[in-house]
Structure 1
Amino acid sequence: MQHNDGVTAPPPNPRTPTSLFVLILQALVIAVFFNPMPMANATVIHADASHVADHWIPPIEAATEIDVLNAFVPPEMPWSSAHRGIDIRAADAQVLAPEGGEVSFVGVVVDRPVITIEHPDGLISSFEPVDSELAVGDTVAPGQTIGRLPAETSHCDVQCVHWGVRKPDAWQVGATVRDLYIDPAFLLGWSDPSILWPVHSDPSG
């Protein structure tokens, strides 16, 4: 089942077709590959994720890339529908912190319990559905249990956890900035990174 995050801003001008944004993004990617001079407003992330993967662990013990039930699908624009995270099959109901950090939110969003952790490198992880006894301000260590999947709530056809990762204010759109969602699988070394990121959005910190 695909997870669609809520709308965070008004939709683009209907007179501007969505395909135009796609064409612009494609042009930027081509420019990165063929222009020897670095772009002033973009950062290229190379495919070697080993320096990132060494610091992150799956939020479900012993999970591997084959346990990803629904992959990350980035939005075309900050307000677009997408799958802003990955769904990981959970053989165990315990959910672990993939990296250390501080709890910044514990509560219910719409109809699902959510816990959010802010990591030292500035990335923010959110997990749902997760019941947690932790409180805002608590610190967690990598691999620490942060909560459990509720038996009565199922995000997927089988027991799973949805994990989203974002970089605050890393996506500039006109005169405004929005959070940039990245693929959590990249942090684990399970996928290649995106080629083009807005400035200051490198998930490796």
Structure 2
Amino acid sequence: MYAFSLFASPPPRPPSGLCAVVVLLLNAVLLLAWWASGAVASDIAPTRASTTDRWVPPIVDANEADIVNGFIHPQMPWSAAHRGLDLRSATPQVVAPAAGEVTFVGMVVDRPVLTIRHANGLLSSFEPVESELQVGDTVSQGQQLGELSEGVSHCEVQCVHWGVRKPDAWRIGSTTRDLYIDPAFLLGWTEPSILWPIHTEPAP
């Protein structure tokens, strides 16, 4: 008895040669899909690994309890916000949270600032930090960048302000602005925000 009860006799079977061709084609498709998935995985594996690598706090042994002022994302690039993390420091030494290259050392308004560019394109800025490093110097993770300035008070207690941004990553109409991210996320202290501000053209 055949499963197809409507047929008085079993349905005709395709020639054996055609079956072999179909099987070969299916095997070829499966082999190609397997190879392609392996190639893609190998390409993106380093990227995934780099995004999950933990940075270290710019203050040695600092933890979440040392956050004096947390990150507040601006609703728009020109909006008031807290574009960084203030970390309490028991010592004046400031270290590199990740390897990078010094891109700026100097005064901004009334305080000394140091900025380094990391391999992933992110920029880290620290203030008020006095440093003997020069633009173009390379630093490794954990290497001392400088010391907190005694003449400038950013918090009620001794602290470092650490800001992280991705240059030209925030598109507002036809313009691009730097996109600030929460440094605590890079340390594994917080989860990434899933709420994004509404993008509009800046007011005239």
Code of the residue aligned with 1:89 in structure 2: it is R
Q: 2:156 matched to 1:157?
A: yes
- Closer, same or farther in 2 for the Cα pair 1:58/1:51, shift >3 Å? same
Select the structure of larger CA radius of gyration. 2
1:58-112 deviations in Å (ceiling 9; x for gaps) = 0000000110000000100011111000100001100000000000000000000
- Deviation for aligned residue 1:150: 1.4
Q: CA deviation at 1:54?
A: 3.1
RMSD: 1.8
Q: Look up the match of 1:94.
A: 93
Is 2:54–2:188's contact at 8 Å kept on the other side of the alignment? Answer: no
**Residue 112 of structure 2 corresponds to which residue in structure 1?**
113
Identity %: 66
- Structure 1: stretches of 5+ with no match in the other structure: 1-48, 199-205
**Which amino acid in the other structure matches residue 56 of structure 2?**
I
Greater share of residues in helix = 2
Cα offset, 1:166, TM superposition = 0.2
**Distance (whole Å) between structure 2 residues aligned to residue 53 and residue 125 of structure 1:** 18
Provide TM-score, normalisation by structure 2: 0.70
The letter for the 1-side match of 2:179 is L
Letter in 1 for 2:181: I
Letter matched to residue 143 of structure 1: G
CA contact (8 A) 1:52 1:188 kept: no
In the alignment, is residue 104 of structure 1 matched against residue 98 of structure 2?
Answer: no
Name structure 2 gaps, 5 residues minimum. Answer: 1-47, 198-204
Cα separation, 1, equivalents of 2:150 and 2:65: 23
Residue 125 of structure 2 aligns to which amino acid in structure 1?
Answer: S
Bigger RCO (CA 8 Å, 6+ sep): 1
Contact residue 52 and residue 189 of structure 1 kept, 8 A: no
The offset of 1:55, in angstroms, is 3.3
